[in-house]
Chain A
Amino acid sequence: MTRNLLTRILPAAVLIALSTAAFAQTAAPAQAFQLPAFQRVKLPNGLTLLLLEKHELPLVSVELALRSGSVTDPQGKEGLASMTAALLRKGTTSRSSEQVSSDLDFIGMQYNAQVDQDGAHVSGDFLKKDLDSALALMGDVVLHPTFPEEEVKKKIAQQQDSIRAAKDEANRVLQLYFMKFLYSDHPYGRPANGDERSLGTISRDDIAGYYRQHYTPANAIVAVAGDFDSAAMQSKITQVFGSWNGKAPAAATLPAPKPVSGKRVLLVDKPDATQTYFMLGNIGINHTNPDRGYIDVVNTLFGGRFTSLFNTELRIKSGYSYGAFSFFNEMKIPGPFIMYSFTKNATTEPAIDKTLEVLARLHKDGFTADELTSAKKYINGSLPPTFETTPQLAHTMTTLELSGITREQFNQNLVKLQGTTEADSRRIINTYFPSQDYAMVLIGKASEIQKIAAKYAPNVATKKISDPGF
């Protein structure tokens, strides 16, 4: 049992959002931490290579990212990008699926492939002494997958059941429902890992076709962090990935998401819930928003740390909840701004009332100069551990590259946020924390909270947790 939810119990989807936020959030005053320098090289085939040497431990982390995320899934085939990434390891031209697993496990390598809206990430983490076999394995799964029919069927059926299983725990699926409800038909509203129905429409041909189009060096970034010599690593990466060829697919053009105007509520009935899990918010910001540093400072005070206004009211003062957080998920085009908490069925109404009251108070009172100073120090102090290990650094490099942010710009933003003034804070609150317009999703026991939900919007949409989709 842990005291603070933030670091432990958040569902994976929320954690991803938080880590993105934390990554853009962590900061530096004048002489403090700045992201260490790394080398950026373009190979002749168009592959972008990022190298960061770190020699304290004989470990190496590699992350390969593609500039194609789940937004490239055709409508109705949600989960195609994600299934393609998941199936890379399920058989190559020279290794069976079982052989790939045995080889990965024999060197104690941690391997992972996952897809979010804006990109795909395939990562490997291993001991320096296994560098050659690890790179060969990563090259094999990325360059030579065969997508055996049998494996495709198996993986898709497993993923459908994983979604059913996730729905047995409200907290694991809340953000998926929220994204769908907020973004509606926009590609950001589609579930990156698909849903029970969309997965069933995906064939082996879809996967092979998706792979041919998107898995090309000009569409890819390889980041390596750890104990190596950069020149030697560049030649090793060239050996493994140099013969890869193909053009980059046309970049997905995404319409600007439309913020919710007015109030919309969705209630998802989970008849066994003894607690209501809720999110409310609206469209937030993208990764390059020039105000992002200021927003980090303001959100830290509003809902980004233990003593935030939101957690103080929902947890510390009232005991309504084990935790209450807000975050901006910065994405390629504006991602969501979300307030998240949960409370027992009987206190659903006062807890949501309090949540709205906290938003209203933010606008009424704003933050003092002392509070802003506290947030800046907090952000700055939590920065170094965020960039401490080689998987963190490899992931940081691919994320920056996908976002189109240089290291210099990243570091400048950290310096800039240290200058946040009360006037900046006021402007940020007025611009980025809408209090009258919101989308709200509740997962809970409808027979007990239906009437309460109706209080927060003129019409309440309803679903059952067992209904397919989100």
Chain B
Amino acid sequence: MKIYRPHRLLLALAAALAFALPLAAQNINIQEHTLKNGMKVLVQEDPSIPNVALYTFFRVGSRNEHEGITGLSHFFEHMMFNGAKKYGPGQFDKTMEAAGGSNNAYTSNDLTVYQDWFPNSQLELIFELESDRVQNLAFDPKIVESERQVVYSERRLSVDNDNFGLLDEQLEATAIMAHPYHWSVIGWPSDIEKWTLDDLKTYFAKGYSPSNATMVVVGDVKADKLFQLAEKYMEPIPAHDPPPPVRTVEPKQLGERRISVHKFAQLPIIEIGYHVPQAQGPDYYTLELLQALLTTGESSRLYRSLVDQQQLAVQVQSGHEATIDPYLFTFTVQPRQGVAPEKAEQALYAEVDKLKTAAVDDHELQKAKNQVISSYYRSLRSINRRANVIGRYQVLFGDYHKLANVEQEFNKVTAADIQRAAKEYFDVNNRTVATLIPDTAPEAKDADKPAEEKQ
């Protein structure tokens, strides 16, 4: 019988702060165990519903790809459901659903995450299914071809036939020239068409070492029992080298970049990106607060100015993600019908510039803090979302213990920090602008059709 070291995350530390949730504190103790092959297992016992969320985070994503295999991480994620040694093609899903479970998975620039949701009575079966595919994934060439089409259909849905998705892809590819965040997670169409079976095998050997994985289990389980199952099913899987480190560092941007996309549409879209640091770099929490000040809620500065007062935009949003390497802070504006995109763009800069010239007052800063902190607590209230948050803190922020400090980190941010960050990041030379310009004569553009649709 092994002794496991329980690590308790005491959010009660935050009790002195504005949004202390002493009850939440009792619910967030996490126990930790590292298997001999390097896989880290984190468990949070929560019997409030008789279900379990079991998430496996592999620290591999489109960031670990190169030209020619863009999108392969995501394609691989699909292939993880298409048959292994004990459970052949289709059996993973059939077996899990017949046991009352369901699953999904997602791939980002940085991560590939497998999500299982199931009644607590099925714990051992889920381990059997997971260990089978992590250890003995098989690739049937016929399935590879049909899954390739599935992924292409997903690309059409989320990029080619979604103007926001399309513009997003073009903005990233323009703003990020050198680092692998240059391409989208779904991958370029020509790569989707040409990935090979060997690409998949090489990828599996590189990214899917247990030492590159963190398993997070939240729900009606006992940590001791869970660790025993992890030892039985996951520990025998041999470790190997993780993916090689990503060497390329994005060079500093030295001036504004602008692109346009002409496409059939009723309304234009403008997306603006600024380079910002990674999750573990400086200013993560400051940037989250900038996001709240600018676009969270109808009292936010950009909503109030662009959508409400000046009526220039249908909507305005911003995006800031926790990433391993430096990425982008983005603004997305959809101008109202008849409003020139440049006009909406200039109005956005005027508002953002106000944050550089004058400090936010205490009330407004407190509002932003209240928004992000309450939203953080909401993200912990279902076992599914909590498993996701715990895993992301472990893998992207480097240590799940940092969850205990989220409130403190937000509360530490001052009006001067906000002003300095706005000046530092929202600078014209650090900016890339992509504009989708409605084109009302799409038939004339048939020559530009993707190769696949021409045959």
Nearest A-chain residue to B102, judged by Cβ = A382
Q: Which of A98, A158, A270, A274 is packed against the most chain B CB atoms within 10 Å?
A: A274
B443 near A108 with CB under 8 A, answer no
B350 to chain A, nearest CB (A): 19
Segment 148-184 of A: residues with Cβ below 8 Å from B? 154, 157-158, 160-162, 164-165, 167-171
A161 near B185 with CB under 8 A, answer no
Q: Which of B297, B334, B366 is packed against the most chain A CB atoms within 10 Å?
A: B297
Stretch from B43-51, B225-233, B427-435 contacting the other chain: B43-51
Number of interface residues of B (CB under 8 A): 94
A377 near B99 with CB under 8 A, answer yes
B299 near A98 with CB under 8 A, answer yes
Partner of B314, one of A8, A110, A127, A158: A158
What band does the interface of chain A fall in when counting residues whose beta carbon is under 8 Å from B? Answer: 35 or more
Partner of B153, one of A105, A127, A342: A342
Stretch from B1-9, B272-280, B380-388 contacting the other chain: B380-388
- Confirm or deny: A4 has a beta carbon within 8 angstroms of a beta carbon on chain B: yes
When each residue 71-87 of chain B gets 1 if its CB lies under 8 Å from chain A and 0 otherwise, what string results?
Answer: 00010011001000000
Report how far A110 CA is from B370 CA in the complex, Å. Answer: 12
B450 near A274 with CB under 8 A, answer yes
A169 near B162 with CB under 8 A, answer yes
A306 near B93 with CB under 8 A, answer yes
A55 near B307 with CB under 8 A, answer no
A104 near B117 with CB under 8 A, answer no
- Confirm or deny: B222 has a beta carbon within 8 angstroms of a beta carbon on chain A: no
A161 near B314 with CB under 8 A, answer yes
Stretch from A203-211, A278-286, A310-318 contacting the other chain: A310-318
Report how far A213 CA is from B21 CA in the complex, Å. Answer: 42
A59 near B381 with CB under 8 A, answer yes
- Confirm or deny: A452 has a beta carbon within 8 angstroms of a beta carbon on chain B: no
B453 near A274 with CB under 8 A, answer yes
Report how far A176 CA is from B121 CA in the complex, Å. Answer: 41
Residues of A within 8 A of B90 (CB): 307, 312, 316
Report how far A380 CA is from B50 CA in the complex, Å. Answer: 11
Nearest B-chain residue to A305, judged by Cβ = B97
Report how far A98 CA is from B297 CA in the complex, Å. Answer: 11
A153 to chain B, nearest CB (A): 10
Partner of A57, one of B21, B450, B453: B21
Report how far A312 CA is from B363 CA in the complex, Å. Answer: 54
A307 near B161 with CB under 8 A, answer no
Question: Sorted from nearest, which 9 A-B pairs have the closest CB atoms?
Answer: A381-B100, A108-B374, A319-B149, A319-B146, A272-B264, A374-B98, A105-B297, A101-B298, A384-B49
Question: What are 6 A-B contacts with C-beta separation under 8 Å?
Answer: A3-B106, A9-B157, A98-B308, A158-B336, A374-B97, A384-B50
Contacts from B to A (Cβ < 8 Å): 19, 21-24, 27, 48-51, 74, 77-78, 81, 90, 93-94, 97-108, 117-119, 122, 145-154, 156-158, 160-163, 185-186, 263-267, 296-300, 304, 307-308, 311, 314-315, 334, 336-337, 363, 366-367, 370-375, 377-378, 380-384, 442-443, 449-450, 452-453, 455
